[in-house]
Structure 1
Amino acid sequence: MEKIEAFRELAGPYERELLLHCYRVMGSLTDAEDLLQETMIAAWRGLPGFEGRSSLRTWLYRIATNRCLNALRDRRRRLPREPVPPFEPPAPTRWGEVTWLQPYPDVLLDGLPASAPGPDARLELKESVALAFVAALQRMPPRQAATLILRDVLGFTGPETAEMLGTTETAVKGALQRARAATPAPPVEQPDDGVAGRFAEAFTRGDVDAVVALLTDDVWLSMPPAPHEYQGRDAVREFLARSFAYARSSLTRVGANRQPAFAAERDGPAGIIVLTLRGDRIAALTRFHDTALAARF
């Protein structure tokens, strides 16, 4: 019992940041929680062999990263079941591939530093938890995404990253270059300026025109784990018109991915809606239909 308590004192302070690390790699909070547990079990078992050549934090990140990569290589990603729409949706603009994407509760980010302690970090916390960034990571080869996270998000050096991934510094540089090219530019920081509140009022009323007036011309609507995605005001208008005609939801403000977000309710939990803002308009609407997520917020 004393050994377990001693281990908790050593590794416990890193659990929250390791959970976030696993989330970035996996794109799913559910998968991240499972892999964090695997990481801590592996660390407990491997602690007698820890020689202290790196910091405990670096050692834990190495375990967590490789547990995530092993899970992806073994195809252990939990693919959610596609929901059946309760109404006939319009034809989508495209079929999304990242159907396992989940939001990340802001409460789990509280207390984490805004900047990584590593010397090579390039992204702030808010940038590195944005839905667009996490989704982009899911479209990369896993080791490429892990390289970007370790270098640009967590600030580990090239040699540290190479050792953690069991590769060479040259390979790390190449993977990092390709990953950066595939990463969307961080959005320019803009205040909410009441946009989220006006969206909630219009959405709750079922006022399609008022919601559409808040959107950018190239807005995207996605609904994980459903693959349907819609781009542009007209496409989103048509979908919302059919959705509101079927039923309306009430919205409660929550925090997710450091973006404006709402918990929807319709005779019980009806998912989480996250807004991506561009200036004074909404550039993306992401509605997560997994009703079990509501309890996390």
Structure 2
Amino acid sequence: MTDATRLDADETDLLAAVRAGDPARFALLTERHRRELHVHCYRMLANYEDAQDMTQETFLRAWHKRESFRGHAAVRTWLYRIATNACLDFLKKPTNRAPAPSALPDADSEVMYLQPYPDQMLPEDPQESVVARETIELAFIVAVQHLPPRQRAVFILRDVLGWPASTAADALELTVASVTSALQRARVTMREQLPDRRLDWRSPATHELSSDERGAVRSYIRAHERNDLDGLMSLLRDDLRFAMLPDPGTVTTTAGDAVDGWISGGLFQRGHDDWRGITTTVNRMPAAALYLRAPGDSQYRLFAIAVLHIVDGKIAELTGFDATDKPWLDLAPTL
């Protein structure tokens, strides 16, 4: 069966489910798109849990608006349209997240609602994840948050998903001219936020970690397990960018100052000096899941996950996240 035939069959099957008012069949036909829609919502919102909520909202809206599906567009396109507008509606509402997405004036602004994305939740179809690494990395997700919501939607639909301007305009109820103008402004902002990164998101990008990345993660974990401060310092670039979310304060610092700051904050002191770690990946980036054993405890308990951006074998960016109470990361709670 060709892809075109499969698409025609999908539309025909969904139309039949709509006309029959068959919720079970409707759910079966739309559910297959859950993972890619979840990634789409995550790119829009930078928060795994919010993306989960908006993905579920997408399916609810799809059922309530099922009569609007007439088979003129692919099922996938119809669902993306609903998901995009669900996210835009979410971004209009006051939330406890800070700062608001529209209040991010520069690259150093905090995105404290940022959460890591577990790789096991990425789409399994290689065609759906061909650009996943560069468009799911933390730097990209943070950069997208600097766009106003409508620009953000246009940019993702046009430059990430590769939609024609007319299709994006129809999804967002804008003119083609408005979409073109919004995309031009969004591209300028993205170049400012990602000056050293490739901006052709539709070109294939490798998903595999390099040997430098794998080696740096192993060395980072080993330094923690041995309380090897010199070894840890040697892994860090002197222009390290460090953040520990959701705490404010992304800083660019020297390796020595970074380690001194961690020590003064209690790291590698009694109670925070008995570590184990495992190598993992989130956002298709190398990461270390760190487990801490407190005095008197018999087990190492999941403490944090450090997501690393490696350049020439050294850690250029380190974003730490509290890993407790996040079962969706699919990490063992104890070692």
TM-score (norm 2): 0.76
Match of 1:254 in 2: 280
| Residues 193-208 of structure 1 aligned to structure 2 (within 5 Å) | 193=212, 194-208=215-229
Query: Could you list the per-position Cα deviations for residues 8-40 of structure 1 after superposition, in whole angstroms to 9, with x for gaps in the alignment?
Result: 221011100000000010000010001111110
Alignment of 1:61-80 (within 5 A): 61-76=80-95, 78=97
Matches within 5 A, 1:214-229: 214-229=235-250
Kindly report which structure 2 residues correspond to 1:66-145, keeping only aligned pairs within 5 A, or say none: 66-76=85-95, 78=97, 96-113=109-126, 124-145=131-152
Q: What is the identity percentage for the equivalent residue pairs of Structure 1 and Structure 2?
A: 36
Structure 1 pair 196–294 and aligned structure 2 pair: CA distance change class (3 A)? farther
Deviation per CA, 1:175-212, whole angstroms, max 9, x where unpaired? 21222222214369771331111111112322222122
Shift of 1:148: 1.3
Quickly say closer, same or farther: Cα 1:110–1:279, change in 2 above 3 A.
farther
**Alignment correspondent of 2:303:** 270
Structure 2: distance between partners of 1:275 and 1:252: 14
- 1:263–1:294 contact (8 Å) kept in structure 2: no
Instruction: Answer whether contact 2:44 2:145 (CA < 8 A) is retained.
Output: yes
Match of 2:52 in 1: 33
Greater relative contact order, per chain length (Cα 8 Å cut-off, separation 6+): 1
Amino acid at match of 1:160: T
Secondary structure in 1 matching 2:248: strand
1:162 aligns with 2:172: no
RMSD: 2.5
SS of match in other structure, 1:41: helix
Q: Distance in 2 between matches of 1:95 and 1:142?
A: 19
Q: In structure 2, what is the equivalent of residue 46 of structure 1? A: 65
Work out the CA distance in 1 between the residues paired with 2:262 and 2:73: 53
User: Who is 1:210 aligned against?
Assistant: 231
Residues 72 and 199 of structure 1, relative CA distance in 2, 3 Å threshold: same
Q: CA deviation at 1:96?
A: 4.6
Q: 1 CA distance for matches of 2:323 and 2:285?
A: 18
Gaps of at least 5 residues in structure 2 are: 1-19, 100-106, 199-204, 294-300, 331-335
* Aligned residue number for residue 186 of structure 1: 197
CA–CA separation in structure 1 for the residues paired with 2:138 and 2:120 = 16
Q: Which amino acid aligns with 2:121?
A: L
Paired residues, what number? Answer: 278
TM-score, normalised by the number of residues in structure 1: 0.86
Deviates more, 1:61-70 or 1:249-258: 249-258
How far apart are the structure 2 equivalents of 1:180 and 1:291? 36
Alpha carbons 2:308, 2:318 under 8 Å: kept:
yes
CA distance in 2, matches of 1:61, 1:279: 38
Cα offset for 1:129? Answer: 0.4
Report the alpha carbon displacement of residue 141 of structure 1 after superposing the two structures with TM: 0.9
Q: Give the 4+ runs in structure 1 shifted more than 4 A.
A: 77-80, 187-190
Q: Which amino acid aligns with 2:84?
A: T
Whose radius of gyration is greater, 1 or 2?
Answer: 2
